[in-house]
Amino acid sequence: MVQRAISDRRWNLFARELEDILIEHGYKLGDLFHVGIYPQKIQRLRDSLKTPKFHLLNPDELERVMTYFQMSGNEQLRIRAAVLATAVEQTLMDRIDAENALLAAQEIFPILVKALQERIENNMGMAATRKDNAMYEMECLESIDDLLEPALEKLDQGMMALHLSRHAESPDERVANVRKAHYGFTAARMELEAAADQDEELRLNDSWKMWYQEAAQWQETASEQLSYYQI
């Protein structure tokens, strides 16, 4: 695995590792449309390489991507470790300056890869449809996503917590992260509804509908998990 310098400064470690693996397979982030990833999500991943944002794919999308691009076991391990490293980076961003947070997350990334590999060795392993539209349409989508950014940030927070719940070492830690995920998805849904209440035309917009469906779907998933734990 190639060690990268801080000068790379691609902020979102998850998006960075995903991009690198795709390049190794002869693809790029834009090729995620082959597995039905919406253009808005692809653009947010690209943007998060340039600015300190922490956008992820949801677990179902991640599985589809790893299967479609025939990622090896080691590559899947790198992706999952990158999710955890991104969570570390996001947490540190609230406490120290951005560049040191990125540097620390880069340092911990190979440690996380090794830890996940050891978990696998202990029998705890892990187990196309549309191109981007014309430039005008993409600009419209970006402007709408800018309007919805407060809701999308809460959606990102919920997705991060959901991923972390799947890597939890204890039931208490798992439940705590599912609670955080449920809160994030609920807050995102409320923000989206509030935005649509102010502008009813938003409810007819494909971008709004896509993000609202995402928030509602994963809010329900988190609710089911909390019910399973009898919370």
pLDDT at 167: 84
Same domain? 41 vs 116: yes
pLDDT band at 203 (very low <50, low <70, confident <90, very high): confident
Q: What residues make up the domain containing 24?
A: 9-121
Residue 74 included in any domain? yes
> What is the pLDDT averaged over residues 215-231?
86
CA distances from 109 to 51, 92, 163, 172, 205 (A): 19, 14, 16, 24, 39
Residue 1 included in any domain? no
Residue 219 included in any domain? yes
Residue 200 included in any domain? yes
For residue 74, pLDDT over 80 is answered with: yes
Residue 92 included in any domain? yes
Q: Rounded mean pLDDT of the chain?
A: 83
Count: domains in the chain: 2
pLDDT at 168: 84
Same domain? 117 vs 204: no
pLDDT at 136: 35
pLDDT at 94: 78
Instruction: Pick left, alpha or beta for residue 9 (phi over 0 → left; psi -120 to 50 → alpha; otherwise beta).
Output: left
The larger pLDDT score, comparing residue 8 to residue 31, is at: 31
pLDDT at 8: 60
Q: Tell me the per-residue pLDDT of 83-122, one tens digit each, with 9 for 90 and over.
A: 989 988 988 887 888 899 899 989 989 988 888 887 776 6
Residue 54 included in any domain? yes
For residue 125, pLDDT over 70 is answered with: no
Q: What is the chain's length?
A: 231
CA distances from 162 to 59, 77, 166 (A): 8, 17, 7
Same domain? 16 vs 106: yes
DSSP for residue 84: H
182 contacts 223 by C-beta, under 8 angstroms: yes
Could you say which of 69, 97, 121 is where a domain stops?
Answer: 121
